[in-house]
Every structure is written in C-alpha cells, then in structure tokens.
Amino acid sequence: MDKLQHANQLLQWREQRQLSAEQLQQASGQFPLQPATGLWLAQANLILLFGTVVLLGAALIFFIAHNWPFMHYFTKFALAAGVLALSGVVAIYSTSASLAQRAALLSATILTGALLALIGQTYQTGADIWQLFASWAVLIMPLVLLSKSRACYLLWFVVLELALGRYLSTQSALFWLLASPPMILSLALVNLLMLAFTEFALPRLGVQANKTLVRLAALIVIAPLTYGAAIGCWDNSYQTNLLVYLPLTAALGLWYWRQRRDVLILALLAFSVITVATAMLASLLENADEFFAMNLLALFVIGSSVAAVVWLKKLQHTTAGTTA
C-alpha cells in the first residue's frame, strides 16, 4: 500500500477517534497526509496525455465525417491510415512500457476502429454492426496485449461488449425488454469469462492496479444475472436464470469475501441479492392484500438495505485495518 493509502487510513482512524491529534501528528512525519506536488503533476500528466490521445482520435473521426462529401475516398484512406501508421511508428520507437508507448498504442487501437468504419462506409460491405466491433476487437488484440495499459484494456472490453450486445440485439428488437432467457444467460456467462480473464490473467500479463477493470467486469456480470433472476421469480421461462443466479452469486460472494475483500463488488452482490429477494417476496404476496403487501415490501427493502450498509461499513473498516 502506497503512502497516500496509509495517509487515508490514518485520517479515517482520526475521524473514528482511534487516534489522537498528537498521534496523528507523529504519524504524519513518516506518511505525509497530503500528496506532494510531484504526485499531483504526475497524475495530471497522465490524465492530460491520454485525454489528448482520445480527443485527437475523435477529432480525426469527426473531421472525416464532416468533410465526407468533399473528400475523395483515397484522401480519406490516406489520412486515416497515415495517422494510424504514425501511431505505430511512435509506439515502436518509444521506450518499452513508457507512457508515450502506451498512449501511441491507445491511439492505434482507436484509429483501427475508425479505419474499419471508413472501409465499411466506403465500400458498403453489408456487414452488421456487431461484425465491425468484433473485427475491431480481434485486430487490436495484439496491440492491447503489448500495451499493458488499463486504458487499452478498457477500450477492448467496451468494444467486445458492444460486439456481443449488438449481436444479441439482432435476435431481438428491444434487447433488454424482449430478450429471451437464453440470451440474458449467455450475456452473463460470457461476461463471467471476461471477469475471470480480468481477475486472473491481467496480473500475469503485466497489468498493474487493475481493480477498476475487475469492478467493471463484475458489474457487467451481476447486472444481467440480477435482471434474469428477478424476472425468474415471476416468469417460469426464466427459472433457469434464477437457478444459475443462486449458486453463481454465492460463489462470487464467497470468493470476494474470502480472497479479495473487495467491498465495492460485495456491495453490488449484496444489493443484487436484495433485488432478487424482493422480487421473490413480491411474487409470494401477489394475491395478498395490496396495502399489507406494499408495506411489507417497503419494510423488507429498507431493513435489508440498512443491514447491508452496516455490514459493508464494518467490512470496510476491518479490511482497512488489516491492510494498514
């Protein structure tokens, strides 16, 4: 845990009155309570660098789109391919694993998608949108693996998710409203593979501090699982989703409680369980008196939510005290 995390822990203990003002002052000699100027500048440099890359890539895309009728298609290809090649040259000649190389590779991943869209629009290939995103994800895979950059992996995950979502949308006009139980279950299970990749493979691939990616992957697993299970409390055709939800949620909860103690993911799981339990209770009270049922459901939601928050707060304090 770095110095800033130590400082955060010390301030939390002071707020909880576990440290006196004198003890906090003594501890601040070893762990500064405020970030140094160099840390602020390093973080600002990182944000500005990757923000610049994203904005320049977007600028190229919008420039071509705005001047589409006035540019020859060879000019469009030359512009897009030239900037993509320039990003590749910068990445090759930059220091390995440096910010410049990662930024250049992020630019290359963005421009690859722009070039694919340009080819599809120019030659009207007739490919579905999901095929564009799937091709984009496959083509940038070597760049993402080489970059070891969380930004590149985040873009790759988004592109994969869009490809999967657009493919499933071809099977249903309104995916989330009219999706069949197997479609929702398939989305959750594919996202579970993404979570496993993020959790176990990324550290071995050299991606450090990947908590944000893990939490994002957990969110896109839990959301469709919860949706399908909640409907399964009412609709028999979704009972498979409910049966898969119960052991899978228990396994995820046990893993993140015993192995990682990730409070945010445990919070997602806890409120997911509350959602599904509320749906179960509502289905049991379907024929009960409306006033009684509504008040009982309200009391259950309030009580279970308060209990979950109290438990998560205690867990957060225990985890922070253990890692300090």
pLDDT at 33: 67
Task: Express each pLDDT in 210-220 by its tens digit.
Answer: 788 999 999 99
Mean pLDDT of the chain: 83
Q: CA triplet 198, 103, 262: central angle to 5 degrees?
A: 25
pLDDT at 164: 87
Instruction: Say whether both 211 and 324 belong to one domain.
Output: yes
pLDDT at 1: 41
Instruction: Say whether both 234 and 297 belong to one domain.
Output: yes
Mean pLDDT of 245-260: 91
> What letter does residue 200 receive in the DSSP assignment?
I
Alpha-carbon distance of 256 to 249, in angstroms, equals 11
Alpha-carbon 121 to chain mean position? 30
| C-alpha closest to that of 205 among 141, 113, 263, 136 | 141
pLDDT at 65: 77
| 52 lies in some domain | yes
Instruction: Say whether both 3 and 50 belong to one domain.
Output: no
| 175 lies in some domain | no
Residue 53: pLDDT over 90: no
Instruction: Output the DSSP codes for 96-145.
Output: TT-HHHHHHHHHHHHHHHHHHHHHHHHHT----HHHHHHHHHHHHHHHHH
Alpha-carbon distance of 110 to 25, in angstroms, equals 48
Alpha-carbon distance of 303 to 307, in angstroms, equals 6
Q: Which range is least confidently modeled, 131-145, 222-236, 307-321?
A: 307-321
pLDDT at 2: 56
Instruction: Say whether both 124 and 29 belong to one domain.
Output: no
Looking at the structure of the chain, the number of domains it has is 3
Instruction: Say whether both 140 and 85 belong to one domain.
Output: yes
Instruction: Say whether both 20 and 78 belong to one domain.
Output: no
Task: Express each pLDDT in 264-311 by its tens digit.
Answer: 999 999 999 999 999 999 999 988 888 888 999 999 999 999 999 999
Segments forming the whole domain that contains residue 224: 184-324
Task: Express each pLDDT in 13-29 by its tens digit.
Answer: 665 566 677 776 776 66
